Amino acid sequence: MKKHLAATSSLLTLIRHASSASSLRSLLEKFNCPDLVLQAGIKEWRSAGLTDKACAHLLSPDLVRLEQDLEWCDEPDHHVIAWHDADYPELLRQTENPPAALFVVGNIDLLWHPQIAIVGSRHPTPGGRENAKHFARTFAESGWCVTSGLAEGIDTSAHGGALSVPDNSGRATVAVVATGLDVMYPAQNRGLAEIIARHGAIISEHPPGTPPLKEHFPSRNRIIAGLSLGCLVVEAAERSGALITARLAAEIGREVFAIPGSIHNPMTRGCHKLIRQGAILVENPADLTDSLRPVADQLAKALRGRLQAIESRHHHISSPRQLTLLHEPIWEALGHDFVCLDQLAERTGLTTPELSSMLLVMELEGNITVTDGRYARNT
């Protein structure tokens, strides 16, 4: 067993056996260390809301299951991000009932990247599939990350549209699933999931081995809504999981968008219902991204706090007045000729997710121009 996994075993024990996310969040906030939580004892566990059954499991955990969990964590690009970790995504932290921990396969930095959720019917029309793919591709080309649920239909088209962007450098799409990350559901999306794991990230609040239980799918939707700055519903019936995601997004203050359609198409009735309730009608991707510019800047401010160490590594240079110290190394690396993300990463020493988030802010502020995934100064 690799050395770093020993420190993970306490966290995995808590995730596997704690009776509720709120109880585990409370304990991790108080002790800020899984080892200390386990050492705290039954009195502290009960005061945080753990049941007697959960306390018994913590005193005598399933060691076989724990060993399997540790083996999963030992695989390349497998991660566990807990409530007390600095990498826990800020937007999700602000929601009403966030997970106590996230299991991730792929690039964990994408959890902090500006995301747009695209959701809809599992049985869309051909036009709905085309709309989902077109909007997703356009968002990805503009530097946004497309988030969806890896289900059949609109979700599949949205992930595929984002991944169709050439040279996406691993920033295209995030899939939130309702099973353990070693359980593929639906089975026909296994190939898509493998591609997303290489070029994006797959996320679950459930530990490895968790099967596709019916009650987990609605709770999965709150994570999709919580990670995203806005939620686009492409096609949906009047009663659907997509409308649940839209409602959850609205409840936590995220913008909800809907594409209108034919009054004769039952798959657009959910969208029309959302529009009557106040969702923003969109006809093209720019309608959505223009509305999200202010909240994208708010996320960038949170990201600046996470990346404060970067500022001290760079000196002040002549640049547009509105640029922060965090953005100035990128300005210095840019010229009037267009350059790709890989070139900027090499020049600045920043990672692709760091660059992508900051470049999006610079674009929204009018400092840079973006064409076909290449960047140049706007002055």
Express each pLDDT in 208-249 by its tens digit.
Answer: 999 999 999 999 999 999 999 999 999 999 888 899 999 999
Contact present, 150 and 156 (Cβ < 8 Å): yes
H or E, element range at 272? helix 269-276
Sheet holding 374-377, edge to edge: 339-340, 374-377, 368-371
Express each pLDDT in 331-341 by its tens digit.
Answer: 888 877 788 87
In this prediction, residues 179-191 reach a mean pLDDT of 96
Length of the chain: 379
In this prediction, residue 313 carries a pLDDT of 35
In this prediction, residue 1 carries a pLDDT of 36
In this prediction, residue 339 carries a pLDDT of 84
H or E, element range at 216? helix 216-227
Which residue, among 306, 265, 227, 21, has the nearest Cα to 131 in the 3D structure? 265
Q: Is the pLDDT of residue 44 over 50?
A: yes
Least confident of 38-42, 257-261, 298-302, 360-364: 298-302
- In percent, the amount of the chain with pLDDT more than 90 equals 63
Q: How far apart are CA 191 and CA 171, in angstroms?
A: 18
Q: Is the pLDDT of residue 316 over 60?
A: no
In this prediction, residues 196-211 reach a mean pLDDT of 96
In this prediction, residue 310 carries a pLDDT of 36
Q: How far apart are CA 207 and CA 211, in angstroms?
A: 10
Q: Is the pLDDT of residue 258 over 60?
A: yes
Token pair listed for 262: 């034919």
Q: How far apart are CA 214 and CA 32, in angstroms?
A: 33
Q: Is the pLDDT of residue 91 over 70?
A: yes
> Could you tell me the pTM of the whole model?
0.79
Which residue, among 235, 240, 279, has the nearest Cα to 261 in the 3D structure? 235
In this prediction, residue 376 carries a pLDDT of 86
Q: How far apart are the first and last CA of the chain?
A: 54
Bridge partners (DSSP) of residue 118 are 232
In this prediction, residue 311 carries a pLDDT of 40
Contact present, 334 and 300 (Cβ < 8 Å): no
Token pair listed for 55: 């306390």
Exposed e or buried b per residue across 316-331, where buried means at least 16 C-beta atoms within 10 angstroms of its C-beta:
eeebbeebebbbbbbb
In this prediction, residue 366 carries a pLDDT of 72
CA dihedral over 239, 245, 248, 249, signed as positive or negative: negative
Structure letter (DSSP) for residue 233:
E
Express each pLDDT in 106-164 by its tens digit.
Answer: 998 889 888 999 999 999 999 999 999 999 999 998 889 999 999 999 999 999 999 99
Strand 145-148 versus strand 173-176 pairing type: parallel
In this prediction, residue 317 carries a pLDDT of 36
